[in-house]
Amino acid sequence: MTKSYEKPKLMSEDGKRHDGRLPEDLRPIKMEVGILKNASGSALVEYGGTKVIAAVYGPREAQPKHISIPTRAIIRCRYHMAPFSTHERKSPAPSRREIELSKVIREALEPAIISELYPKASIDVFIEVLNADGGTRTAGVTAAALALADAGIPMRDLVAGIAVGKVEGVLVLDLDELEDMYGEADMPIAAMPGKGVITLLQLNGVLTPEEFEEALQLAWKGLKKIYELQKEALKKRYTELSIES
């Protein structure tokens, strides 16, 4: 890919984005559950060019033992980008950014998991970014929630993630890498749509209070769609099998 440091045109005159989407459109989304055999639960999620795998192990005995908590299960989360996931090779060592994202994703999932059921145990979530094209943390949260459900871990609700942002003065949903890089604002949000609870909200850039409100409404629209797709993905394995047999 050729590198240009000039800002590309991100919004066309007819209100379409650089990839032809309308501001409130999502990228094509693909979800698949139960893709890894060794994990208790796993999922693959694609938001356009972004491709993320999540694997869940547990509840299992916490290792090392001293990190366990007597009243609930601990949840550990690792967000990691594969060295081949970006244009230029990314060092496989966890970066400052990945450590932060691991923490915020864990905190986005914790309210959903009924961890009090499994004292002293640990639930380990691994999120591996295979291809990065913007919105990897939100795709990661979506994949992790699916993997947790696939593992059979009781959850109050599924967690879905989506980003909203501002590009050339227009509020847009589900930013890709280009829009994230050259846009004015990027706001990833994760929530439990069934309960209406936001569990992750970050904002990079500037939005006025009015824009923030509007962006939040736009995000809810996207979250609801993703939530439905998640449910569909979880049910798909069973409905497909029933038709077959």
Residue 52 as a binder of another protein (CB under 8 A): the answer is no
Given 35, 121, 198, 216, the residue binding another protein (CB under 8 A): 121
Q: How far is CA 108 from CA 47, 71, 158, 202, in A?
A: 19, 20, 11, 11
* Minimal distance, residue 236 CB to another protein, in Å: 10
Q: How far is CA 27 from CA 66, 83, 127, 220, 240, in A?
A: 44, 24, 20, 16, 25
Residue 242 as a binder of another protein (CB under 8 A): the answer is yes
Q: Which string of x and - marks every residue 198-237 that binds another protein (by CB under 8 A)?
A: --------------------------------xx--xx--
45: CB partners within 8 A, 6+ apart: 29, 30, 31, 32, 51, 52, 54, 139, 140, 142, 143, 146
* Minimal distance, residue 61 CB to another protein, in Å: 6
Query: What residues between 7 and 46 interact with another protein by CB under 8 A?
Result: 40-41
* Size of the residue set binding another protein (CB under 8 A): 38
- Are 34 and 237 in contact by the 8 Å Cβ rule? The answer is yes
The vertex-124 CA angle with 105 and 200, nearest 5°, equals: 10
Of 127, 125, 147, the closest CA to residue 137 belongs to 127
Cα 64 from Cα 118, distance rounded (Å): 16
Could you tell me the sign of the dihedral formed by the alpha carbons of 151, 156, 158, 163, in that order?
negative
Query: What residues between 129 and 158 interact with another protein by CB under 8 A?
Result: 149-158
Q: How far is CA 6 from CA 2, 114, 175, 207, in A?
A: 12, 48, 19, 23
Given 61, 131, 174, 211, the residue binding another protein (CB under 8 A): 61
* Minimal distance, residue 216 CB to another protein, in Å: 20
Given 109, 192, 219, 223, the residue binding another protein (CB under 8 A): 192
Nearer to another protein, 187 or 233 (CB): 233
Stretch that binds another protein, among 16-24, 53-61, 88-96, 130-138 (CB under 8 A): 53-61
131 token code pair: 């291809």
Cα 234 from Cα 145, distance rounded (Å): 11
Stretch that binds another protein, among 81-89, 92-100, 116-124, 204-212 (CB under 8 A): 116-124
Query: What residues between 62 and 91 interact with another protein by CB under 8 A?
Result: 70, 73
Interface ranges with another protein (CB under 8 A): 40-41, 58-61, 70, 73, 112, 114, 117-121, 149-158, 192-195, 230-231, 234-235, 238-239, 241-242, 245
